[in-house]
Chain A
Amino acid sequence: MVRILVCVKQAIDVSQLKVDSATRRLIIADAPKKISDFDKNALEEAIRIKEKLGGEVLTVTTGPEDAKTTLREALAMGADKAYLINDSIFENSDTLATSYVLAEAIKKIGAFDIILCGEASIDSFSAQIGPRLAERLGIPLITYARKLSLEGDTVTAERGLEDCSETVRAKMPVLVTVTKEINEPRTPSYMAIMKAFKKEIVIWKAADLNIPSEKVGEAGSAVQVLDVLAPKVERKKIVIKGETAMEIAEKLAKTLIQEGIIVR
């Protein structure tokens, strides 16, 4: 019986994000939201462990009211119960403040054998929440796991680093962040989606966790956003045409040589 908690984030679906090309501002309000991709891998992994060894999978998020939709999706995939930590004072929290909120929630939810997170979120991609949580909870951490197995009280994971792949072991309780390679997340069946509506979503406010306002939101954050702008794209966009592949290739080759970027 393994008790697993999966931290999920309701992220902006970056593939559907639109930019106002005149101002280079993002039109965020219109962008659809979804569970951050790697968090789905974390959920899938948790559910597979539960299917194999028995136990319980809980999931938690901190975010706006509508993050409930994300939690429903997690419940439909197979999580047993979900927690939404939501309060208007959490808005504009950085990773320092967000990890504080999550850590307080986790302490209240109870003890776990494994806590799973995605390696990073698809919208902000800072890869800090998992490591910060492990520190706040004082438990071992394995990042970038692309394979995971359990035996007794030990977790073994394979992680891909820049120069090697490493197999590491840690005693539970442990926090593991997973990559996309670890599994292929399931698509919930219609039945599973219907069943998810019967599962419980617990909602906690700051007061339920005794979180003081100075530790969250802008006041509790160490980093503040000044500006968000779409990058400038200044490319020549010259189409090279010709009758034959060879003709095109010659034109392109000459152009590249003229650019002075080819040295040999």
Chain B
Amino acid sequence: MSEHRGVWAYSENKDLMLELLGKGSRLAGKLQTQLTAVMLGHDIKKQVKELIGYGAHKVIVVDNPQLKVFHVEPYLSALTQLTKQHKPELFLMGSTKRGKELAARLAARLNAGCVSDCLELKVDEQGRLLAERIVYGGNAIVTQVFRTKPQIVTIPRRRFEKLKYTEESKGEVVDISDVQLEVAKTEIVKVKPIEIAETRIEEAEVVIGGGRGLEKKEDFKILDELAQILGGQVGYTRPLVEDRKWFTEWVGLSGHTIKPKLYIACGISGVIQHVAGIRDSKIIAAINRDPEAPIMEMADYIVIGDLYEIVPALSEALRKLLASS
């Protein structure tokens, strides 16, 4: 028997943290162990209650002025000391860019394994943790098991649901704020916030996807109009960001992974890396001129036609139907 016990969760992203607790509490149940939330930062003690309300049995708090701004090394050194001392069997971390770096470096320091961007985590009959993730650019799902502990995994946004908040939940709070923290090896000289849509694309129930079928940047307006009618958001393929520099974020393997109720792909070919980001959408509709485009294999509803004709017509039709209902 290994001496490692307990499921831990940590993300510097608050929403993601609550989702990790949601998944963590289910896994802790299956593994018959406790769920611990790790909190790092400065002046954060008042947030402890929330983590307990969302499922943590225990909260380990490191409240330290050195953790006021996220710098990898102080955060990493806190996590390293905590995991070495308390030896969790499973550590769920957030798959943000910061989180992925943190997880990989923590794994390196602990000589541990790490599975990035897990889509699913299960416990099999033998009590082993099975971690699933996308590989080969979206062509396959790999199932992996750990041979050593702690088992570190990172989980993207919106993969798992948070629990319902329970005001009355009780939990243990462990304050380990007087740890020795490493100083940062890199210096942040400038931060430019990105204008993010009011609701993040992962949050949207309807996403209208725009691809290279769009001829001009301004044409996103016809997609946006449709999105407005459906209370959704517009998302893009990577070339519109990277090659044309029209927008700042994209959907897909190397961008956002979304699972809206409805995804409408407009002028998107459906290359595997893009599809990897939309695969879990409940319904996918595709509007494309090319009947051979790979998106056709991925769609529930297919319109073979010009997006410049179909999308405005769809907006009009929906507006009418929704007004009359």
Asked if A143 lies at the interface with its beta carbon under 8 angstroms from chain B, I say yes
Report the stretch among A2-10, A134-142, A198-206 that lies at the interface. A134-142
A225 vs chain B, min Cβ distance (A): 6
Asked if B28 lies at the interface with its beta carbon under 8 angstroms from chain A, I say no
Q: Could you say which interface size class chain B belongs to?
A: 35 or more
Nearest A residue (CB) for B76: A135
User: Is A262 within 8 A of B300, CB to CB?
Assistant: no
Are A163 and B193 CB-contacts (below 8 A) given A143-B101, A246-B317, A261-B283? Answer: yes
Asked if B64 lies at the interface with its beta carbon under 8 angstroms from chain A, I say no
Question: B residues within 8 Å of A by Cβ?
Answer: 13, 72, 96-98, 100-101, 104-105, 107-109, 111-117, 130-131, 134-148, 185-194, 196, 205-206, 229-231, 242, 253-254, 261-262, 271-273, 279, 282-285, 296-306, 309-310, 313-314, 316-318, 321-322, 325
Query: What is the CA–CA distance of A227 and B132 in the complex, to the nearest angstrom?
Result: 9
Query: What is the CA–CA distance of A162 and B97 in the complex, to the nearest angstrom?
Result: 7
22 contacts between A and B (CB under 8 A): A15-B271, A94-B113, A95-B114, A124-B136, A128-B114, A165-B192, A167-B191, A170-B186, A223-B145, A224-B147, A225-B144, A235-B297, A237-B302, A238-B300, A238-B302, A240-B301, A248-B303, A252-B303, A256-B318, A261-B283, A262-B230, A262-B322
Asked if A111 lies at the interface with its beta carbon under 8 angstroms from chain B, I say no
Query: Which residues on A sit within 8 Å (CB–CB) of B299?
Result: 235-237
Query: What is the CA–CA distance of A181 and B305 in the complex, to the nearest angstrom?
Result: 32
Query: Which residues on B sit within 8 Å (CB–CB) of A246?
Result: 313, 316-317
Of the candidates A26, A162, A245, A255, the one whose C-beta lies within 8 Å of that of B313 is A245
Given A125-B253, A126-B115, A165-B192, 8 more pairs with CB closer than 8 A: A123-B135, A123-B137, A128-B100, A128-B107, A222-B114, A237-B297, A237-B299, A245-B305
Query: Which residues on A sit within 8 Å (CB–CB) of B185?
Result: 139-141, 170
B251 vs chain A, min Cβ distance (A): 13
User: Is B101 within 8 A of A221, CB to CB?
Assistant: no
Nearest A residue (CB) for B102: A131
B-contact 0/1 string along A102-139, CB 8 Å cutoff: 00000000000000000010111111101110111001
Are A226 and B144 CB-contacts (below 8 A) given A181-B242, A235-B299, A252-B301? Answer: yes
Nearest A residue (CB) for B299: A235
Majority SS at the chain A contact face: mixed
User: Is A250 within 8 A of B317, CB to CB?
Assistant: yes
User: Is A223 within 8 A of B137, CB to CB?
Assistant: no
User: Is B302 within 8 A of A240, CB to CB?
Assistant: yes
A16 vs chain B, min Cβ distance (A): 10
Nearest A residue (CB) for B273: A14
Are A156 and B189 CB-contacts (below 8 A) given A235-B300, A240-B301? Answer: yes
B302 vs chain A, min Cβ distance (A): 5
Query: Which residues on A sit within 8 Å (CB–CB) of B189?
Result: 156, 167-169
Query: Which residues on B sit within 8 Å (CB–CB) of A136?
Result: 108
Nearest A residue (CB) for B318: A253
Nearest B residue (CB) for A244: B313
User: Is B262 within 8 A of A256, CB to CB?
Assistant: yes
Of the candidates A221, A245, A248, the one whose C-beta lies within 8 Å of that of B113 is A221
Asked if A53 lies at the interface with its beta carbon under 8 angstroms from chain B, I say no
B187 vs chain A, min Cβ distance (A): 5
Asked if A164 lies at the interface with its beta carbon under 8 angstroms from chain B, I say yes
Nearest B residue (CB) for A239: B302
User: Is B190 within 8 A of A167, CB to CB?
Assistant: yes
A66 vs chain B, min Cβ distance (A): 18
Asked if A99 lies at the interface with its beta carbon under 8 angstroms from chain B, I say yes
Asked if A192 lies at the interface with its beta carbon under 8 angstroms from chain B, I say no
B237 vs chain A, min Cβ distance (A): 13
Of the candidates A139, A181, A238, the one whose C-beta lies within 8 Å of that of B301 is A238
B315 vs chain A, min Cβ distance (A): 8
User: Is B272 within 8 A of A223, CB to CB?
Assistant: no
Of the candidates A132, A156, A223, the one whose C-beta lies within 8 Å of that of B115 is A223
Query: Which residues on B sit within 8 Å (CB–CB) of A170?
Result: 185-187
User: Is B296 within 8 A of A222, CB to CB?
Assistant: no
Are A132 and B186 CB-contacts (below 8 A) given A15-B272, A223-B113, A246-B316? Answer: no
Query: Which residues on A sit within 8 Å (CB–CB) of B304?
Result: 239
Query: What is the CA–CA distance of A242 and B302 in the complex, to the nearest angstrom?
Result: 12
Nearest A residue (CB) for B124: A226
Nearest B residue (CB) for A120: B254
Are A222 and B113 CB-contacts (below 8 A) given A19-B139, A264-B322? Answer: yes
User: Is A261 within 8 A of B98, CB to CB?
Assistant: no
User: Is B143 within 8 A of A225, CB to CB?
Assistant: yes
Query: Which residues on B sit within 8 Å (CB–CB) of A127?
Result: 100-101, 104, 116
Query: Which residues on B sit within 8 Å (CB–CB) of A165?
Result: 191-192, 194
Query: What is the CA–CA distance of A245 and B98 in the complex, to the nearest angstrom?
Result: 46
User: Is A256 within 8 A of B301, CB to CB?
Assistant: yes
Asked if A144 lies at the interface with its beta carbon under 8 angstroms from chain B, I say yes
Query: What is the CA–CA distance of A248 and B303 in the complex, to the nearest angstrom?
Result: 8
